[in-house]
Amino acid sequence: MPALWIAHVTVTDPEAYGKYAELAGPAIAKHGGHFIARAGRFVQLEGKERPRNVVAKFPDVDTAVACYHSPEYQEALSHARGASERELMVVETSE
């Protein structure tokens, strides 16, 4: 079943985070993921608000998790650490 990679982000260092974004997109695409929402308009109804919200769709949970642990994504992530506060989860869809 398909899976959604959902990230909620507050960027604290835009320059470093820009390098993350530059590398993360190709890493996600390499693993069959594609963005369905990226930094668009949102309405926070509950919980901690993060100004940047990203949703990518993957073929399945295992592929999304493999992407996260891949060398390409870990290289991208090295630029996000210290440049952002984030939560990231993978959720299996019912479709």
Per-residue pLDDT tens over the stretch 37-49: 998 899 999 999 9
Scanning the structure block, which residue is given the tokens 């989860």? 89
- Give the C-alpha distances (Å, rounded to integers) separating 5 from 13, 15, 61, 89: 22, 23, 9, 6
pLDDT at 39: 82
Q: How is residue 57 written in tokens? A: 């769709």
DSSP 81: B
Judge if pTM exceeds 0.85: yes
For the chain of 95 residues, list the mean pLDDT of each consecutive stretch of 10. 96 95 96 94 93 96 98 96 95 91
